[in-house]
Amino acid sequence: MKTARPLPDDFRRRPFTVVEAAEAGVSRKRLRHRSLAALGRGIRSLDPTPELPLSVRVRPFIEVNERCAASHLTAAELGSLPARRQKEGPQMYHVIRPKGAAHLNRPHVIVHRMRLYDDEITLLDGIPITTPERTWLDLAEMLTVDELVVAGDSCVRVPRLELEGRDMPLCSLADLQRMIDRHKGKRGVRKAREAIKLIRVGSDSPQESLLRLAIVRAGLPEPELNVPIIDDGGTRHHEPDLSYRKYRIGIEYEGEHHGDEEQIVRDIARSERYTALGWTEVRISKRHMHNDAKAAVAKVRAALVQAGWRPGR
């Protein structure tokens, strides 16, 4: 077989649809060449393609399927919502179609046909995707209650403008509740009703959410989230990840980045501030979270008891 004509530069770096290739002047003969892999009817890609962002990989699968949007785990990853990662194997994309739409059976695509309202779809980088609140409700079909709480905490948290370029949450608790009320018979809705009672505004990471859940389930008081320490003179200080102002206890979850040299310096300075303010600092790391976070809960309980807390009070 003769050497194939070069593709337009853009098509060499990503999967593309037959329709857009034709519009760019690529011939049908070229689209049948063995150098191209068929990823399903109407989708082609150079074989192999480099590792690409999910948005680039999923786009053609949305474009060739009318009335579809990315949903479930795919929408969660696109929208940066924490959720269970897909197991190793062929990449599968979750898409949603309105209930009553024609059935689709395509490789690489898991199609969900269910009730879908226009205001439950938005655009992200030009790709139709379920809104954060609808994505959260759909995740109830496949996540545990704790995982759903983690995703919900991420939806309603208020981001820091200087760090993330936005200061508005992805959605509100009221938005999540509206999804539950709107889709009363949907699979997973009972789990969503249980999870929404445990979602809190203020958790900045999945581990902070899981630590809070473990603390509460162990019968300890529920801590506040990212509330600043204000000293007796009214000066505002740093915000512990979790805290008990009554007992002057701050709980800090230290992720992997806390091993950086600059972060270590900041952590030491933070510990010194705790001491100067008369507060107790409880530092939790990944190793404390194993076995249902029993070690983390034990550290928090010990600090509370030392500060005067007693069960049942």
pLDDT in tens, the chain (313 residues): 466 778 888 888 888 888 888 888 888 888 888 888 888 778 888 866 557 888 988 998 888 877 899 999 999 999 999 987 666 556 789 999 988 776 667 778 898 999 999 999 999 999 999 999 999 999 999 999 999 999 999 999 998 888 788 889 999 999 999 999 999 999 999 999 999 999 999 999 999 999 999 999 999 999 999 999 998 888 899 999 999 999 999 999 987 655 567 777 888 888 999 999 999 999 999 999 999 999 999 999 999 999 999 987 6
- Residue 112 contacts residue 103 (beta carbons within 8 Å): no
Beta strands in 154-248 (DSSP E): 224-225, 242-244
Distances in whole angstroms, Cα of residue 117 to Cα of each of 179, 183, 266: 11, 10, 48
User: pTM of this prediction?
Assistant: 0.86
C-alpha span between 196 and 180 (Å, rounded): 9
C-alpha span between 227 and 220 (Å, rounded): 18
307: nearest Cα among 276, 272, 282: 282
64: nearest Cα among 43, 49, 80: 43
